[in-house]
Structures are given as C-alpha cells and as structure tokens.
Amino acid sequence: MKKLMLTSALAGLALTASAIAQTTITGEIRVSHKAIGSEVSSGSTTTSGRGFGTEQQINFANKGKLNVGGLDYAAGFSIENDGSQTTTLFNENSYIDITNASSGTTLSFSVDHIQRNDSDRSAGNIFGFAPSEFSSGGHASLMSATPGPGVGQSQSVAVIQDIGKFGKLAYNYAPTTTIRTDGSTTGSGSSETFTETNEKSAYEISFVGNLGVQGLTVDYFKSEQNALTGEVVKSKGENIGVRYNTGALTIGAARKIWNDNAALAANKVETTEKNYGLAYAVNKDVTLGLLHATAENSIASSPAGVATQKLTAIQLGYNLGPVALTVGVARNTDLNGVAGQDSDMLMTRLVGAF
C-alpha cells in the first residue's frame, strides 16, 4: 500500500510539472560527401578517398516555471548518431538550466550546451565547413576543433549572466574534463558514479555578444585545466573572434592559441591558428564564401623549429527550403607542418531539419 501511495504521488508530481511546462521535439539529418586527394613532397599520391557520411540528431526540450521564487527552467537532451556510432548517443546538448529572468542570471548543469570554445567555433568560419573539417583526412592536421581543454564538452556547471544589450558572460567549471585537443577522453561511469582518472578539473570563461553594435559579433574564450599528475605543463586555450555583417556582406576573423599538457616545460607545444572569412549573400537563397586559415606550431625546446600549415577554401550555400546545401572546395598546403605534404578536398553537405 505504501508503495502504491508513493507511485501515485510521483505520478501526480509528473502531471503537475507537465501542466505548466512546454515540450518540443526537433531534429536534423545530415548527408555529406567528401573527396580527398593528398600528395607528399615527391608529388606521388599517398592518400585519396571519397565517400558518404551521415549524422542524425533528435532534440528533446522542456521549459516552464519552477514553484520557487518565480524562477524559469529549461531542460533537455539530444540523441545524436554520427555515422554508425559505437560510443554514447547522449553526450550532446544535455542540460538543466535555472534562470532568474529579472537579473538575467542562469545556472546551467550541462554538457555541450552553453556558449563554448570547442566544435570549431570561429568568427572566421561564417558558414559551411570549418578549417578542421577541410584539413582532416589523408594526413594529420595542425588545426583543431577543440583548442585546449574541452570544458564545454564535459559535464559541467556554469553561471551565465546577461549584460544588458552587450552580450552574455559565462563561467563554466568541469570537475573532470572528458576531451582535449589531443583527443584524450575520459569520463566513463554510470548515472550515479564516475570513474576518476588522471584528468583534472578545468574552467572556461567566455563572452559572446555584439557590444551594443548592430551587425557585430564578438567572441572571447579562455580555458585552463589543472596540471595532470606527473605533468608540469597545463593544458590551456584561448579564442578571440570578431564578425561584422553589413547588408549582404559579412567579414570575420579569429585567433586561437592553445597547448596540451606536457611532462616537461621543454616539451610544450603551442599552436596558433588564425581564420579569416568573407561571405556574400547573392540573394535570399544563395551565399558565396571565402575562407583562409593558417596554423603555426612551435616547440619550446626548439624555437627555430616552427611548422606552418595553410588552407584556402571557397564555399557555396544554397537554401532549398526545408533542405540546405553547402559545397566547399579547399586546398591544404604543408599539412601538419610537413613541407610539400598537400591535399585537395571537395565537401558537400545536405541538411534537413524537422
């Protein structure tokens, strides 16, 4: 009987929450094609390939009012499948946000949700494919989607503050990071436990806004992870970008600087990536874009040993109504900083939203 009463009470609680909440379900499907031709300094083709890729995502979102202090809340998660994914399908856009509308303050318990430095956020990448996408495949690349510790891709707690019409300031803290630039991942565990590893806590501060200027977007991110046991060099990252739109023309530029952890100071490797973009809206359906990026890699123990990689791409975006098409062609020079290691790439993407 007691069990029945408890079950009934929980059911009542669920009904009460539903009565004052709004739930939405959205989704997206992507079908992409990539063709790569790579060369080494001798001119011989070392890696060529072509094929299709696909990604599906379903988003569940719920929002409403709490019964305490008139606070707003929003909660949700996404189910994402990249190709035939063998890892978790639930590590994107998972969140519970509590917001005080009068002060513009939000407390977010989330992963892959708030404004963040990873996932190729670059003011120079105005639309379409990012530099790390154009430079991947065939060889390693100096360009990265996650510069420094990936705080935003880890389970974290964040405070986000509206600053009038200027933008949003955020502080994000992850007790244990789950991804870094070098691809290291941790964080296995059940819903109530967590497997601790040598990964340490990390923070990220950020600002995203227009500073009160219409058409302007400014991004700033700075992240740092506590030193791993046995490592003296901390993983750090910084990303600053500016984008401005005037009529049909949009221009953007960004600079990223990061390093991963290292056992010795002499082994510290710092990478500086710069992105420059230009886009022109021919009409409401067609947009043309130009993207140029460079990445420079320096090793503390060898100041003279600087490696540089360059990328130049042109892109076309076409709005087909319920489906969007993007086509991009890129040329990579000195991939991973190796002279003469070049590649050409053609990428096409169809995106459907529902």
pLDDT of 86 higher than 80: no
Report if residue 12 sits inside a domain.
no
**CATH number, position 301:** 2.40.160.10
Report DSSP letters for 259-316, one per residue: E--BSSGGG-EEEEEEEEEEEEESSSSEEEEEEEEEEEEEETTEEEEEEEEEEEEEEE
pLDDT of 180 strictly over 60: no
Q: What is the pLDDT of residue 43?
A: 54
Domain assignment of residue 24, yes or no: no
Is 152 domain-assigned?
Answer: yes
Residue 121 domain-assigned (yes or no): yes
Greater confidence (37 vs 126) lies with 126
Question: What is the rounded average pLDDT of the residues 95-124?
Answer: 89
pLDDT value at 138 more than 70: no
Number of structural domains in the chain:
1
128, part of any domain: yes
Task: In whole angstroms, give the CA distance from residue 329 to residue 319.
Answer: 18
Average pLDDT, integer, range 42-54: 71
Residue 23 lies in a domain: no
Task: Tell me how far apart the alpha carbons of residues 134 and 128 are, in angstroms, rounded to a whole number.
Answer: 10
Confidence check: pLDDT of 239 > 50: yes
pLDDT (0 to 100) of residue 282:
97
Output the furthest CA–CA distance in the chain (Å, rounded): 80
Using the predicted structure, report yes or no on whether residue 45 has a pLDDT greater than 70: no
Q: pLDDT-based confidence at 240, cuts 50/70/90?
A: very high
Residue 10 belongs to some domain of the structure:
no
pLDDT at residue number 318 = 96
Q: What is the mean pLDDT of residues 345-350?
A: 95
Model confidence band, residue 16 (pLDDT cutoffs 50, 70, 90)? very low
- CA 342 – CA 40 distance, rounded (Å): 6
Q: What pLDDT score was predicted for residue 203?
A: 94
Domain encompassing residue 304? 34-353
Residue 19 inside a domain? The answer is no
Query: What DSSP assignment string belongs to 33-51?
Result: EEEEEEE-TT--EEEEEEE
Residue 42 pLDDT class (50, 70, 90 cuts): low
Q: What region, left, alpha or beta, does residue 112 occupy, with left being phi > 0 and alpha being psi -120 to 50 degrees?
A: left
Q: How far apart are CA 144 and CA 130, in angstroms?
A: 10
pLDDT (average), residues 3-15 = 40
Q: Give tens-digit pLDDT for 285-316.
A: 999 999 999 999 887 766 656 788 999 999 99
Element (H, E) at 220: strand 216-225
Supply φ then ψ for residue 291, to 5 degrees: -130, 130
What is the residue type of 328?
G
pLDDT tens column, 181-211: 554 544 433 445 555 566 788 999 999 999 9
The pLDDT of residue 6 is 39
The CA distance from 229 to 63, in Å, is 41
Dihedral sign computed on CA atoms, order 255, 275, 53, 138: negative
